Amino acid sequence: MTFELETAKEPEKLKRVVIEPVSRVEGHGKVTILLDDEDRVHQVRLHIVEFRGFERFIQGRPYWEVPVMVQRLCGICPVSHHLVAAKAMDVIVGAKQLTPTAEKLRRLMHYGQMLQSHALHFFHLASPDLLFGFDSDIAKRNIVAVVEAYPEIAKQGVLLRKFGQEVIRLTAGKRVHGTGAIPGGMNKNLSREEREILLKDIYHMVAWSRDAVHLAKKLYTDDMERNTQFGYFRSNMLGLIRADGALDLYHGGLRARTETGETIFDHVDYSHYSDYINEEVKSWSYMKFPFIISKGTQDGWYKVGPLARINNCDFIDTPLAETERRDFVAYGHGFPIHSPLAYHWARMIEMLHAAETIKDLLHDDDVSGNDLMVKGEKALEGVGVLEAPRGTLFHHYRIDENDQVTMANLIVSTTSNNHAMNEAVRQVAKQYLDGHTVTEPLLNHIEVAIRAFDPCLSCATHAVGKMPLMVEILDAEGRALDRVYKDGAGEVGCAV
């Protein structure tokens, strides 16, 4: 299926603009734009090179190795892969219901991950754009400048992230690439001393997370008109939901709603995900395009992540985050909010929920229990799903009689958001492409749109505004008419 601006009628007659982040790690993306002689936009595509080698690499490995191994997939949220693979392997070892201790420890690890990833995403990567403006001097649009101009905000961002990492360390054994979750449960509990360490700081974390929601809201509502319009599109939304309709980032059934908030399906057992979701392959992209089967490829694409989740849930079971959710939802006047930049606001509401949940779990004696493991009858297939910081994450494995993995299928959040990000980039190109000269503001705006969904693609290893990008305008024969690059130091130059 094709969408407006996805495929031009006579591409050979058009000029081509290529925007390519020359990044080395994580997702690697490239934007191409086709223009006619009047500089009208005819086609915009975001191509994401997805790392799929893993699914082959894991074949033949013993299943219990998978939750540790999959953490190599993502530098920002390894814990999400760790936990979701462990959930799939719970099914394989026949652990139908984890012990309360194991389940709560898993949740603690997951919410620690949510806290650190959301803090990184908002404070380190997005806040410079939002605080200084998308068009501000690149040299000033970074976390260092935030530290200078808003020292208190920057400090809180750093400490929130550190706290989340500390929760991960104490539950998984290490800040990165730990081993806490194993098929059927956890390999350690949280001692009383470890709880005390975290309890000392958690109240600050809750308070600062609340401040962060207010900051995100202010930055959004200060320029309401621009921010609601920026990269605007409407779509279906997908995510996990608890049986009672509460936001639940660790476990639940699948809920999909339309752009106006009507139910497509609800409380679906995710082990049957493939009856509800399929992935379309398009010739021009390495990354697949998932869609809701009942709505078809044309109408069935959806978005995931904080905005989809906050729109989709009926309530949040922690009081401060619930208050903020109501405030947020009110801005939709009865309809879901779809503006990409609202992702940041929704993200901070989730961060507050994560902080509150961590606080409650730290007070729960179950997390210091010793009943860590259950096992039952072995199965040869397992599906795990959870809500990773960037959205719904699916892991599906099959093993043979010898315990070796024979099949792995992963749908990562970035893939679920593939179409949505394409749509956002199309809107931004329409709104901000000014003639066929590639301007720095256009680069920045595209970067800002992608970053609303996904920090990896905008490359977390590069400071904001320093994402190496290459943009080319090619004529119909592929000759470069104009080329602008931005190197890793944020310097902009002309190569033709």
Q: Binding residues for other proteins, per CB under 8 A?
A: 60-62, 64-65, 67-69, 71-72, 93, 172-174, 177-180, 182-183, 187-188, 402-404
296: left (phi over 0), alpha (psi -120 to 50) or beta: left
Query: 26 or 472, CB closer to other proteins?
Result: 26
Closest distance to other proteins from the beta carbon of 181 (Å): 9
Token pair for 142: 């970074």
- Based on CB atoms, which residue is closest to other proteins, 83 or 143? 83
User: Least CB distance from residue 95 to other proteins, whole Å?
Assistant: 12
Least Å distance, CB 182 to other proteins, is 5
Is the CB of residue 421 less than 8 Å from the CB of residue 44? Answer: no
- Asked whether the beta carbons of 137 and 129 are under 8 A apart, the reply is no
Q: Which amino acid is at 125?
A: L
Which residue number, 173 or 376, has a Cβ lying nearer to other proteins?
173
Q: How far is the CB of 180 from other proteins (least distance, A)?
A: 7
Q: Closer to other proteins at the Cβ: 138 or 182?
A: 182
Task: Return the number of the residue (361 or 399) whose C-beta is nearest other proteins.
Answer: 399
The minimum distance between CB 168 and other proteins, in angstroms, equals 12
Strand partners of residue 308: none
Going by C-alpha positions, the residue among 274, 197, 283 that lies closest to residue 2 is 283
- The neighbour count for residue 371, using CB atoms within 10 Å, is 13
Kindly tell me which of 76 and 474 has the beta carbon lying closer to other proteins: 76
Contact 346/304 with Cβ under 8 angstroms?
no
Dump strand ranges (E) for 422-479. 469-474
Minimum distance, C-beta of residue 80 to other proteins, in the bound complex (Å): 16
In angstroms, give the least distance from the CB of 193 to other proteins. 13
**Which of 404/409 has CB closer to other proteins?**
404
DSSP 92-153: HTT-SS--HHHHHHHHHHHHHHHHHHHHIIIIIIIHHHHHH-TTS-GGGSSHHHHHHH-HHH
Q: Specify whether the CB–CB gap between 19 and 38 falls below 8 A.
A: no
Q: Where in 144-246 does DSSP place strands (E)?
A: 181-182, 185-186, 236-241
